[in-house]
Amino acid sequence: MLIIVGLGNPGLTYRGTYHNMGFVTVDKLAKEWGVKVDKKKCDAKVGETQVGGQKIVLAKPQTYMNLSGTAVKQLMASYHCTPQEMVVVYDDIDLDCGALRFRAKGSAGTHNGMRSVVAEVGEDIPRLRVGIGKPQGQIPLYDYVLSRPKGDKLDTLEQATDHAVKVLLQYVATGDVAKAMLS
C-alpha cells in the first residue's frame, strides 16, 4: 500500500497557485492512472487504484494548508499504514523554481503544511518537494505562495510537476527514493 498526498488549499480561489503544486502533481498522477480523486474521506478527497498489484491511494487534504497533518493522520489511521507507506508532495520556496527534491525523511523546513504533517505523524515520512523559488522584490511570502505563476515560471512548474509524476511512478515501481530521483 502507498498513499500519495498532495498538499494544497481547497477551493477555486487557490486553484493553480504556487502553494497548490502538491494538488497539481496528484491531479496529473490521477490522470496518468485514470483515477478520480473525488471521494470524501478523512478530511480529504481520495481516489484508489491498483498499480503492479499494490494498492495506491491518491489524496488531497481539504483542510487548509496549515492543518494538513490532521488529514494525513486520519488517512494513516483509516488505511492502517505507517509513515513510510506514504509520500507527501508539496511546494517549497527554498528550492529554485522547477527543482525537485525527494527525501525518505527529514524536517519540515519552512513549509507550514509540512510542519503540520510532521507535528502529527513525525519526520519519518517520504516527501517530494517541488521548488517554486522565492518571491522577487517586496512581495510578502503569503501573497506570493497564493498567487498564480505566469509566463516562464508557469512553463517551468508545468515541466516540474510532469517530472514529479515520473519520479512518483518510479517510486511506486521500485520503492527506492534514490532510484526514483534518477527518473
Quick one: cell of 155?
A: 512553463
Nearest Cα neighbor of 24 from 183, 158, 163 is: 158
* Contact in structure between 69 and 118 (CB atoms under 8 Å): yes
* Contact in structure between 56 and 34 (CB atoms under 8 Å): no
Kindly report, residue by residue over 84-93, the tens digit of the pLDDT.
999 999 999 9
Type and span of the H or E element at 180: helix 177-181
Architecture of domain 2-181: 3-Layer(aba) Sandwich (3.40)
Lowest mean pLDDT of 2-16, 51-65, 72-86, 132-146, name the range: 132-146
Kindly report, residue by residue over 35-65, the tens digit of the pLDDT.
999 999 999 999 999 998 999 999 999 999 9
Average pLDDT, rounded, for the chain: 95
Quick one: cell of 142?
A: 503569503
pLDDT of residue 183: 74
Q: Quote the percentage of the chain above a pLDDT of 90.
A: 87
Q: Is residue 181 very low, low, confident or very high in pLDDT (cuts 50, 70, 90)?
A: confident
Q: What are the residue ranges spanned by the domains of the chain?
A: 2-181
Hey, what's the torsion of the CAs at 170, 176, 179, 183, to 10 degrees? Answer: 20
Question: What is the amino acid identity at position 23?
Answer: F
Calculate mean pLDDT across residues 110-136: 94
Q: Is the pLDDT of residue 107 over 90?
A: no
Task: Give me Rg for the CA atoms of the chain.
Answer: 15
Question: Backbone phi, then psi, for 41, in 5-degree steps?
Answer: -160, 135
**Residues annotated as catalytic (active site), given as ranges:** 19
